[in-house]
Amino acid sequence: MILRYDGTFAGFLTVVALARERGVEPEAITDRQPEQQALFAAVEEVATDRQRAAAFYGLLRRTLTAGALHTLRLAFHAAEPGRELLLLHFLQLGCVVGQQLDGMLAHERVVPVWKLARAVGREAHRYKGLVRFQHLDGDIWYAAIEPEHRILPLVAPHFADRFADQRWIIHDPRRGEAIIFDPARRTWTDTELEVTGPLPLSDGERLFRELWQRYFDRLAIEERRNPELQRQHLPLKHRRHLSEFDQ
């Protein structure tokens, strides 16, 4: 059996709680259309039940440590096919051994989840220093990033605290997802977003870009250019949306 959910963390917890209540082991858990080879497997659509999800998460909080729950949340945001099944097995073990799970890093059900969590956590931390906002007409600050993992919800609290008095958007155009911060309510929401044309840059932003480029051109010393070293410190995949590399 394949259990299909809406891709949210609450939806995932609903699926795990349901599987636990039924005592079943799903063949897969997915938020996408099942692959061709799985077309003949029974697919059950599981609607998100926030009450059931909250009750199950309460059980996890009583059973596992805060560190294990943090690992769970990070790994959930990994762009790894089949991660849901890995997380299910992780939680199944955790519900049996409880807080001892923290000391079982070599266990086959813990290792892959811990590796995913570490990769997601590192990328989220890195992007806190790689987000570059552009000032748009309407006094909105916009930034685009294209991370490997779905880290928008992980970086949102950092920028909500740092830029609490600004209206801003952080956009992942590759996935068509964004987080939008409302300074009046001091809250952020996630939404779908697609940008199809040029951004409406403010006059101040255009001036800043021109001044920055002049500064960069004047400061650069051609004889000391070292593209290979530069790529080591800042890989090409991160430069698409950085104003420093905007020509």
Position 80 scores a pLDDT of: 93
- Model confidence pLDDT, tens digit, residues 83-92: 999 999 999 9
13-25 average pLDDT score: 95
Residue type, 187: T
- pTM score of the predicted model: 0.86
Tell whether the model's pLDDT for residue 247 goes beyond 60.
Answer: no
3-14 average pLDDT score: 95
Full strand arrangement of the beta sheet holding 28-30: 28-30, 2-4, 43-45
> What is the pLDDT confidence band of residue 194, given thresholds at 50, 70 and 90?
very high
Position 42 scores a pLDDT of: 85
- Model confidence pLDDT, tens digit, residues 118-157: 999 999 999 998 899 999 999 999 999 999 999 999 999 9
Distance CA 160, CA 165 (A): 9
Position 211 scores a pLDDT of: 83
53-78 average pLDDT score: 97
> What is the pLDDT confidence band of residue 34, given thresholds at 50, 70 and 90?
low
Tell whether the model's pLDDT for residue 212 goes beyond 90.
Answer: no
Q: How far is CA 67 from CA 60, 90, 114, in A?
A: 12, 13, 11
Position 107 scores a pLDDT of: 97
